[in-house]
Homo-oligomer: A and B are copies of this chain.
């Protein structure tokens, strides 16, 4: 019951959580695995299997308590307390992510900014001062930040990743379209928007349908 959870399962848990929160806002108190999957690409059996990895949260013949299940999943994912996040690369994409409230809403706060452009270093965006990437180690060590988002150009991504690793970062969400070499023990997930678009282009000329899945990840 406790070993080698596939990342797909973890990602689905986050999706279930989002649906559950919507249900909670609509005052729904009990939900069955079947109903829960109405707005998710997953089967009821999948939901039950995913949850079974972590315990027994439902009541046979009834379903799951929405409120309780939210609490359980938040606990599993470690979203009970706000997570501080560092953002490296304050260009257009970085700024867009900084303004994105979706993170804040779900337990994350971007609370350290870095860039290598002297024109940007020292400037403030929404109360946060942009620091020199050279100070990543110092700042993150002091503030014990464990999560970082990389939004720098591909050419600088490996250097930044090295700095983040040296600073004790444990989890990286990388938007740079580049392979990153990372030591074991650090988890990295690369979202490469150009790759996503290119792979979708395939389906314009090939009609054989693919079954449903969900946004992947370069974990290490």
Contact = CB atoms under 8 A, between A and B. Distances in A.
Interface in A195-216: 195-216
The CB with the most chain B CB atoms within 10 A, among A96, A173, A205, is that of: A96
A193 interface: yes
A189 interface: yes
B213 A215 contact: no
Interface stretch (A26-34, A71-79, A133-141): A71-79
B215 A191 contact: yes
Nearest to A149: B197
A182 to B, nearest CB: 11
Interface size class of A (residues with CB under 8 A): 35 or more
Contact of A40 (B177, B179, B199): B179
Interface of A: 3-8, 10-11, 13-15, 17-19, 39-41, 76-79, 83, 85, 91-93, 95-97, 99-100, 102-103, 105-108, 146-147, 149, 170-171, 173, 177, 179, 184-185, 187, 189-220
Given A8-B216, A214-B218, 17 more contacts: A3-B208, A4-B208, A11-B216, A17-B198, A40-B179, A77-B201, A92-B100, A93-B97, A103-B193, A105-B194, A106-B198, A147-B200, A171-B203, A173-B196, A185-B207, A185-B209, A210-B219
